Structures are given as C-alpha cells and as structure tokens.
Amino acid sequence: MKGFSELTLSAGLVIFWLTAKVYSQPRQPQVPCFFIFGDSLVDNGNNNGILTLARANYRPYGIDFPLGPTGRFTNGRTYVDALAQLLGFTTYIPPSARTRGRELLRGVNYASGAAGIRNETGDNLGDHTSMDQQVSSFADTVLQMRRFFRGDPNALNSYLSKCIFYSGMGSNDYLNNYFMPDFYGTSSDYTVKAYADVLLQDYSRQLTQLYTLGARKAIVSAVGQIGCIPYQLARYHGNSSRCNEKINMAISMFNSGLRKLVDRFNGGQLPGAKFVYLDSYQSTSDLYKNAASSGFEVVDKGCCGVGRNNGQITCLPLQQPCADRSKYLFWDAFHPTEAANIAFAKNSFSSQTQSYAYPINIQQLAML
C-alpha cells in the first residue's frame, strides 16, 4: 500500500508539473503576423517624425494608454490594437517607422494620419504616407523578410498566407479631399458616383498589389458614418437630421462598391485569397442607435476638443478631456474612444451575423 501511495503521489506530481508547464507556455496568437494599412483611425505613431498637422504624440492623446502619447489618435487603444489582442497577440503591432529585423515577422503597422487612397488626399494637413506609399513600404518589408527564410520565396509566401492583413482607407478621400473644394478640385472634376468609381479602381489596384506580394487573408474596412462625427455636427446645420446626409450618401456609394469588390476578389479574381468586408458604417450606426445598452451616454460630441460639439478642431496640447472616457463614443472631432474601438473590434471579431463582417467574421478568417 505504501508503494502504491508513493506511486500515486509521484504520478500526481508529474501530472501537476506537466499541466503547469502547459499553462505556463506563452500563448501563441491565432495567426503568426498582422499587417495594417490605413489612416489616423489606426495610426500608432508613423506620423510622429514628419512635418504634418496630423499628429497625436502629445497629451491628452494616450491618457489611458499604458505607454502614454504614442501617436495614436485616441485616449487608449485603437481598433487594430483591440483586434490584435483578440487574435492573441500579447504586444502591440509596431509602427513601420521603427520596426526592424526579426520584429518584421510579427507584423507591421504602416498607417498614417491624413492618408488616403489618392496620393494628394490629406496634403492640406502636410506630409503623410498614402496607400500607394504604404503598399510600397510593405514591398520593402517582404524583401527584408526573405533573409529569414533563406531566400526561399515559397517558404515566405507560405508564411505570409497565414497572416492577416487589415486595410482601412477612404475616410480622408472624402473629408480631406472631395468635400474640401477650397483646396481640392475633385468635386468639380467628378460627380459623387464617378468619384466613388475612381477611388474603387485605385483601391482595387492597391489591394491586388498586396495580394501579389503575398496577402491571402485580408480585412477591408468600409468607411464609417462620417457625416455624423463631431466635426461634421459642428459645421452642419441640417433641418431634418443632425447628421450631414450628403456626406453619408457619398460614403454609402463607396461602401456599396467596396463590398462588391470584395465579392469579386472572393469569387475567383484573386485565387486562394479570402477577403472580409468590415461594415464600419453599419456598426457605427448601430452604436448610435443603441448607445445606452452599449454603455455610451454621449454620442454627439468629443470627449475633448474645441467649439460646438467639441468638434471644431482636435484636442489641444495638455487640454483637460472629459472625466469618464468610457461614456463617450468619440474621443475628439474625428476619432472614436478606446471604449468604442473595443466595441467595434468585438463585434467584427466574433459576430454571428453578416451585419458587421461579411462573408465571415475575423475569428473565422484567422482559422482558415
């Protein structure tokens, strides 16, 4: 009996040790890497070192972020920060401005505040990295990554095919281009429909270039309901709606075409690829309508800013923001709070309907 007891105890200790070892292993993300393209909604510091008004590396930006003001245009985490955590990444995807060596294997954030699909978009704010330039930077990254695969292009392509690529572009092509006629001529050159078509042609080319460079699992975000952001509410005085429906209508045309583009990509135009259309317009609209049930009390003005709806300009350096950021949908005139970004990420990651992510959700995309 004594020997049996000792054997049982020893077996128990072995099981305990093995269990502890399993649970002490660092959790692996659901995908090996995450590459991000976009504008200020997902920029995490790429604009810090360039000459531009589109910068957020000062307080109160980052007031709720562990690292303080990093260049993120919100009080805490961006949408892609929250999404990276849902995907199992234990650290944030770094900005391209300071990503080197083996760090590239985990992914890179190329996003730049004021950037757009068109190269001239955002020029009114100064320097930025357009979508064309971001794609070019990714091409350079692919060249740098080859050495980690001994120059074997097949091994590198296999690795990249498991990664997730996110692209969120188009907002500035309207806010800082088409609907800024004093600075740009696009509204004179194109009807609303023609402009959407031109944007989609350029965007299709850019996304196809990412595919050629190795992207196979891609998330493409629609443009949100920007006719309802504090910046527009501060400027617009409509009679029948608090939002600028002229802008929302233009955005809807672009989004409708973008969803059709995703269908074409998934329908065989880009063999082996799977694209997910992220309906940011619908998710924003639903948060407006169901704000209280989602924990939001203020949906029509920024937590910090200047003027009507705190929407005339973005947060000023060292400005005192609202006390409870979790109750606000918007952080400043243009950008969501961390709380809103987390809500958007959760909805798109595991949504069981196609209202927010189409044709599958992001969790399902990661598992492919």
The catalytic position among 39, 40, 96, 348 is 40
At residue 90, φ and ψ (nearest 5 deg) are: -95, -10
Query: Does the annotation count 132 as an active-site position?
Result: no
Task: Please indicate whether residue 171 is annotated as part of the active site.
Answer: no
Vertex 255, ends 274 and 252: CA angle to 5°?
A: 160
Count the neighbouring beta carbons within 10 Å of the beta carbon of residue 67: 10
Token reading at 238: 């409509």
Tokens of 229: 């952001």
**CA dihedral of 321, 326, 327, 333, whole degrees rounded to 10:** 50
What letter represents residue 241's amino acid?
S
Read off the amino acid at residue 252. Answer: S
Catalytic pick among 112, 332, 348, 351: 332
- Alpha-carbon span 244 to 166, nearest angstrom: 28
Residue 241 annotated as catalytic: no
Give the Cα separation of 29 and 85 in Å (integer). 9
The candidate with the shortest Cα–Cα distance to 349, out of 340, 338, 358, 361, is 361
Q: Which of 39, 43, 335, 348 is catalytic?
A: 335
Sheet containing 357-358, strands listed edge to edge, beginning at the edge strand earlier in sequence: 34-38, 164-168, 217-221, 274-278, 357-358
Q: State which amino acid sits at residue 148.
A: F
Position of tokens 């189409």? 358
Just list the catalytic residues: 40, 332, 335
